């Protein structure tokens, strides 16, 4: 026996690795975990130090036997699953299984990228399995099993079958629900801005906004106050009292870690975290590049460290002056600091070879793979470039007790921005600043002390805005900031609560469903620790301590389970029994004349016949979930286009839609219109909301595919007062109130109803 056996997780890596390690190696894949807790039972002996019961994962018997047979034929076995907790646990279980059939030496190898240099270096310098890391993964797996398998049956009993709760997912759901309630309870406050259009001795004219009154922050509460300021400014000759000129530098951003990649891919490319990680996995495992063969294009994509290897820094520092010029290269490498909990053994996410430029390999990559690779490549290159330099100018203008301010800046040297600019929007805050308002303007070359002429004084009404709903990117950032989950779990956390229909993504923002609110309220009331961000973050820290050898895994589980068991026993008797609390109504079933009751279903409350299952008649409850006349009045005029039966309103995962009353015999459906007629000539359709393949909302004609008119902005049934276009469209921008704009002539007005 002279061959060695290299075992990895993913079969897509096998071809790439065979090419690297050569004919002296047999390369096999475990296809993920080969051992796991049983699905049909708890699989954890809580009375015996939480001893786990591992069985062969479903469908893995044949793979496990292949690994055993291969192990018998070699002298050395190298376990090479991914370099994280899950990978360590996979390696541990594989090692245990093959150790019983061979006397070969078993090694653990870790590589952060699938390149010849990294793989051969790992194989030539093997290490041992890390038992602490295995214990940390096992503790996490058992924690999740205890929560899921203890609380979920309770939800089945109290609400309905098929529901589930997760240790970390439930906290994410709570965060989304609490944000939604903050939005619902928000009371807008009116305020006004005053903007002057001014002219000095030199052009161009410029704008300045009221900044202070009597040297205090300007607060204009209502129209009367704004009118008084305008009255005081009549005939005034404001003076340019101060000019501040500065040179400002903007530094490049650190290379990607898992969370920042997910956030930036969401904001720039509109990818969900799940899609980002799926594409990144493919880039990591290898892409066929023609004559080059299969090449791993990026380093490992589950990491929370911004560290870069000396080799990578050396490569990019040689590349930058060659590609962009010596002035773009800093004298020393830029160094970025990881957070305390980061695993510094890992690198940031970067291209494995900086010379594999995106344009050079675009023929081998699908569109979305190329876009993600471009994002990773650009961020990496830019992080080792010099800062961008801006010339900034600030004007302070006084008129009596009023101070107006105007800011402007021009880009003096692009620096790292030649390659990459990070999206600055903070999606947690709809009014987040990306810099001083007007910082992209060039102010005229005026002198201090000049008297200025007011051309226009514009008062504008505003209302404070509620906190923005989370996008998926913003939720990832919130989870990271609060210490909830780890790089490998962010995408799965969001995916799970979406798949359970606890939250919905509408116009790229997360909305809790009625069912999501219900489950969250039950968990908060009965399991306050489980859905506490502080408690969950503390558990994550304990898992880190287990991995560092500072805490025993049984001790950590015991500290969790004792209070959890007490909460569970209380919830058995005290949790509200939603299933048995069908609300009676005064309504009568139109099909069998039995009373109608309100029940809970997959998409929230609905009205059902009390004669179920003999009568399966159901009815939608309307927007507010009530059975009042207002809710009933939401009827649909017209008949089914296919069979002539009555049309009814139904509610699905993405809101209301119109359906044939003879479903499932007839499956005709159509969207609910916006009240705006299609503007195409001779078309009798109406504009309605639709969803793209990527989940984005757009607006198209109900006569599609005969009519293909589309809009990205929501149309409003209001004619333009200037050009008489039959509708306006709703626009949302950072730092501005929502507005309505004419798509024909550009007329714009504030949408006070938004």
For residue range 523-559, list pLDDT tens digits in order: 999 999 889 999 999 999 999 999 999 999 999 999 9
Helix intervals (H) in 355-488: 358-361, 367-382, 472-481
Same domain (yes/no): 364, 443 = no
Token look-up 């299933």 returns 579
pLDDT band for 634, please (50, 70, 90 cuts).
very low
- 705 prior amide bond cis, ω within 30: yes
Same domain (yes/no): 147, 100 = no
Same domain (yes/no): 212, 166 = no
Query: Which residue, among 122, 58, 54, 59, has the nearest Cα to 89 in the 3D structure?
Result: 54
**Residues 567-587: what's their mean pLDDT?**
83
Model confidence over 34-52: pLDDT tens digits? 999 999 899 999 999 999 9
Same domain (yes/no): 443, 475 = no
What is the CATH classification number for the domain harbouring 327?
1.10.290.10
Is residue 249 classed as helix, strand or coil in its secondary structure? strand
| Domains contained in the chain, number | 4
**Rounded Cα gap, residues 526 and 531, in angstroms:** 10
What is the CATH classification number for the domain harbouring 21?
3.40.50.140
**Rounded Cα gap, residues 497 and 164, in angstroms:** 10
Which one has a higher pLDDT value, 563 or 653? 563
Could you write out the DSSP letters of every residue in 457-517? EEEEEEE--PPPPPPHHHHHHHHHHTT-S-TTTHHHHHHHHHHTTSEEEETTEEEE-HHHH
Phi, psi (deg, nearest 5) at residue 422 = -70, 145
Same domain (yes/no): 402, 459 = yes
Pairing assessment for the beta strands 76-79 and 4-8 based on DSSP bridges: parallel
pTM: 0.76
* Position 358 pLDDT exceeds 80: yes
Q: Are 622 and 634 in contact (CB under 8 A)?
A: yes
**Rounded Cα gap, residues 426 and 467, in angstroms:** 11
Q: What pLDDT score was predicted for residue 623?
A: 43
Which residue among 574, 599, 631 closes a domain?
A: 574
Which tokens sit at 342?
Answer: 């980061």
Same domain (yes/no): 416, 363 = no
Which residue among 545, 574, 603 closes a domain?
A: 574
78 lies in a domain?
yes
**Rounded Cα gap, residues 8 and 43, in angstroms:** 26
Same domain (yes/no): 270, 298 = yes
Most confident of 311-325, 501-515, 667-681: 311-325
What is the CATH classification number for the domain harbouring 458?
2.70.20.10
| Residues in Cβ contact with 478 at an 8 Å cutoff, skipping those fewer than 6 apart | 175, 428, 470
pLDDT band for 433, please (50, 70, 90 cuts).
very low
Q: Can you give the residue range of the structural domain that contains 179?
A: 138-185+469-574
Q: What pLDDT score was predicted for residue 429?
A: 39
**Residues 351-363: what's their mean pLDDT?**
95
pLDDT band for 621, please (50, 70, 90 cuts).
low
Same domain (yes/no): 116, 157 = no
Q: What pLDDT score was predicted for residue 157?
A: 87
Same domain (yes/no): 347, 288 = yes
Burial class (CB in 10 A: 0-12, 13-18, 19+), 372: buried
Q: What pLDDT score was predicted for residue 506?
A: 83
Half-sphere CA count of 453, side-chain side, radius 13 A: 8
**Rounded Cα gap, residues 623 and 720, in angstroms:** 30
| Residues in Cβ contact with 68 at an 8 Å cutoff, skipping those fewer than 6 apart | 97, 98, 101
697 lies in a domain?
no
* Position 417 pLDDT exceeds 90: yes
587 lies in a domain?
no
13 lies in a domain?
yes
Could you write out the DSSP letters of every residue in 508-525? TEEEE-HHHHHHHHHHHH
Is 612 an active-site residue? no
Same domain (yes/no): 117, 156 = no
Token look-up 């192990």 returns 71
Q: What pLDDT score was predicted for residue 647?
A: 81
Q: Are 241 and 397 in contact (CB under 8 A)?
A: yes
Q: What pLDDT score was predicted for residue 161?
A: 79
Of these residues, 78, 300, 402, 502, which one is catalytic? 300
Same domain (yes/no): 546, 564 = yes
590 lies in a domain?
no
| Residues in Cβ contact with 532 at an 8 Å cutoff, skipping those fewer than 6 apart | 171
Q: Are 523 and 151 in contact (CB under 8 A)?
A: yes
Same domain (yes/no): 209, 315 = no
698 lies in a domain?
no
For the CA atoms of 229, 231, 232, 236, what is the dihedral angle to 10 degrees? 120
């Amino acid at each position: 026996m002279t061959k060695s056996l290299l075992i990895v997780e993913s079969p897509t890596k096998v071809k790439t690795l065979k090419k690297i390690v050569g004919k002296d190696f047999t390369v096999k894949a475990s296809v993920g975990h080969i051992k796991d807790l049983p699905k049909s039972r708890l699989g954890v002996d809580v009375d015996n130090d939480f001893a786990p019961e591992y069985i062969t994962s479903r469908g893995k018997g044949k793979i496990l036997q292949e690994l055993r047979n291969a192990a018998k034929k070699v002298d050395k076995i190298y376990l090479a699953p991914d370099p994280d907790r899950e990978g360590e646990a996979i390696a541990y279980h594989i090692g245990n299984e093959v150790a019983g059939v061979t006397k070969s030496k078993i090694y653990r190898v870790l590589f952060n990228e699938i390149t010849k240099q990294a793989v051969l270096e790992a194989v030539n310098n093997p290490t041992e399995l890390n038992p602490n890391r295995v214990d940390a993964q096992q503790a996490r797996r058992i924690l999740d099993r205890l929560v899921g398998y203890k609380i979920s049956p309770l939800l089945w009993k109290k609400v309905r079958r098929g529901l589930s709760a997760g240790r970390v997912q439930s906290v994410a759901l709570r965060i989304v629900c609490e944000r939604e309630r903050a939005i619902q309870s928000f009371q807008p406050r009116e305020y006004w801005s005053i903007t002057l259009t001014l002219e000095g001795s030199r052009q161009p004219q410029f704008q300045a906004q009221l900044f202070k009154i009597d040297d205090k922050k300007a607060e204009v509460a209502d129209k009367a106050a704004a009118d008084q300021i305008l009255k005081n400014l009549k005939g005034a000759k404001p003076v340019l009292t101060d000019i501040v000129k500065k040179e400002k530098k903007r530094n490049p951003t650190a290379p990607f870690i898992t969370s920042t990649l997910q956030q930036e891919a969401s904001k720039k490319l509109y990818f969900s975290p799940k899609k980002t990680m799926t594409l990144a996995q493919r880039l990591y495992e290898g892409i066929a590049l023609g004559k080059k063969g299969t090449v791993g294009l990026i380093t490992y994509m589950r990491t929370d460290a911004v560290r870069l290897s000396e080799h990578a820094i050396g490569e990019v520092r040689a590349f930058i002056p060659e590609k962009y010029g010596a002035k773009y290269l800093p004298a020393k490498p830029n160094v970025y600091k990881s957070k305390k909990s980061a695993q510094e053994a890992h690198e940031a996410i970067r291209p494995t070879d900086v010379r594999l430029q995106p344009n050079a390999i675009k023929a081998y990559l699908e569109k979305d793979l190329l876009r993600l690779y471009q994002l990773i490549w650009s961020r990496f290159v830019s992080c080792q470039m010099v800062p961008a330099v801006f010339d900034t100018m600030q004007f302070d203008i006084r008129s009596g007790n009023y101070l107006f301010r105007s800011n402007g800046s021009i880009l003096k040297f692009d620096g790292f921005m030649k390659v990459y600019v990070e999206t600055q929007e903070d999606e947690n805050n709809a009014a987040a600043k990306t810099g001083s308002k007007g910082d992209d303007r060039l102010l005229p070359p005026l002198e201090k002390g000049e008297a200025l002429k007011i051309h226009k004084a514009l008062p504008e009404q505003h209302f404070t805005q509620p906190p923005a709903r989370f996008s998926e990117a913003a939720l990832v950032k919130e989870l990271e900031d609060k210490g909830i989950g780890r790089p490998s779990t962010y995408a799965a956390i969001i995916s799970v609560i979406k798949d359970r229909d606890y939250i919905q993504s509408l116009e790229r923002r997360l909305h809790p469903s009625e069912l999501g609110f219900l489950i969250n309220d039950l968990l908060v009331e009965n399991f306050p620790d489980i859905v506490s961000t502080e408690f969950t973050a503390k558990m994550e820290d304990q898992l880190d301590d287990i991995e560092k050898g500072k805490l025993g895994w049984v001790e950590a589980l015991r500290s969790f389970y004792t209070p959890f068991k007490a909460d569970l026993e209380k919830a058995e008797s005290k949790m509200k029994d939603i299933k048995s609390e069908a609300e009676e109504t005064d309504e009568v079933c139109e099909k069998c004349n039995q009373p109608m009751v309100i029940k809970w279903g997959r998409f929230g409350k609905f009205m059902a016949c009390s004669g179920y299952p003999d009568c399966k008649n159901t009815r939608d409850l309307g927007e507010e979930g009530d059975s009042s006349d207002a809710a009933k009045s939401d009827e649909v005029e017209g008949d089914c286009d296919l069979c002539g039966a009555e049309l009814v309103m139904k509610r699905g995962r993405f809101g209301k839609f119109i359906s044939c009353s003879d479903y499932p015999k007839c499956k005709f459906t159509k969207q609910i219109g916006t009240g705006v007629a299609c503007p195409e000539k001779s078309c009798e359709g109406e504009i309605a909301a639709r969803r793209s393949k990527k989940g984005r909302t757009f607006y198209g004609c109900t006569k599609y595919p005969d009519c293909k008119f589309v809009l990205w902005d929501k149309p409003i049934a209001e004619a333009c007062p200037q050009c008489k276009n039959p509708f306006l469209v709703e626009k949302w921008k950072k730092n501005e109130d929502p507005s309505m704009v004419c798509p024909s002539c550009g007329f714009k007005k504030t949408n006070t109803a938004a």
